[in-house]
Amino acid sequence: QVQLVESGGGSVQVGDSLRLSCAASGYTSTSNCMAWFRQAPGKEREGVATIHTGGGSETYSDSVKGRFTISQAKNTVYLQMNSLKPEDTAMYYCAARLSTTCRSWDLSDHRYFPYWGQGTQVTVSS
């Protein structure tokens, strides 16, 4: 049974940094597409970043490019978030699609990912 457990969220000030973690378990494939999405109240779920665990290639949404970095170590995926802005406030979700590479359009639709964590809240105050 695939499990994704996020942690690391919190309340910070503008310009601060946070690192989110996603601990993944319940599968053996080492070539997977892992992603971070976020959802603010009243808004659709938005793709933030993807990483292919087999090759490490990364993609980012324009809104976070240059500020956020996705990485992986063993069965954990991280999202390093720097220079945080109030518009980064959202629930952040880890997602997975197993035994596959990532595609350039993966961030456009959360339905491309069948497995999800429960989310971790990030609040950025000015």
Model confidence over 71-105: pLDDT tens digits? 999 899 999 999 999 999 999 999 999 999 999 99
Per-residue model confidence (pLDDT) at position 27: 92
* pLDDT for 36: 98
Contact, 89 vs 122, CB < 8 A? yes
**pLDDT score for 84:** 98
User: 12 phi and psi, to 5 degrees?
Assistant: -135, 175
The residues facing 7 across adjacent strands are: 21
What is residue 55's predicted lDDT score, i.e. its pLDDT? 80
| pLDDT per position as a tens digit, 25-66 | 999 898 999 999 999 999 999 999 999 998 878 999 999 999
